[in-house]
Homo-oligomer: A and B are copies of this chain.
Amino acid sequence: MKLTVYLAGEIHSSWRDEIKQKVAALNLPIDFVGPMENHDRSDNIGEEILGKQPDTIFKDAAASNFNNLRTEVLLKKSDLVIALFGEKYKQWNTAMDASAAIAFGKPLILIRQEEHHHALKELSRKAHATVETVDQAIKALHYIFE
Binding site for B on A (CB under 8 A): 1, 3-4, 31, 33, 36, 41, 43, 45, 48-50, 54-58, 60-61, 63-74, 76-77, 79-80, 85, 89-100, 102-105, 107, 109, 114, 116-126, 128-131, 136, 139-140, 143-144, 146
Contact = CB atoms under 8 A, between A and B. Distances in A.
Given A50-B131, A117-B57, A64 B122 contact: yes
9 contacts: A3-B73, A41-B146, A45-B143, A48-B139, A64-B124, A76-B105, A90-B116, A96-B96, A103-B104
Q: How many copies does the complex hold?
A: 8
Dominant SS among interface residues on chain A = helix
B33 A139 contact: no
Q: Which 7 A-B pairs have the closest CB atoms?
A: A103-B103, A99-B99, A95-B95, A64-B125, A65-B129, A60-B121, A54-B54
Given A3-B73, A48-B139, A92-B120, A54 B58 contact: yes
A141 to B, nearest CB: 9
A45 to B, nearest CB: 6
B96 A122 contact: yes
Nearest to A145: B70
B122 A68 contact: yes
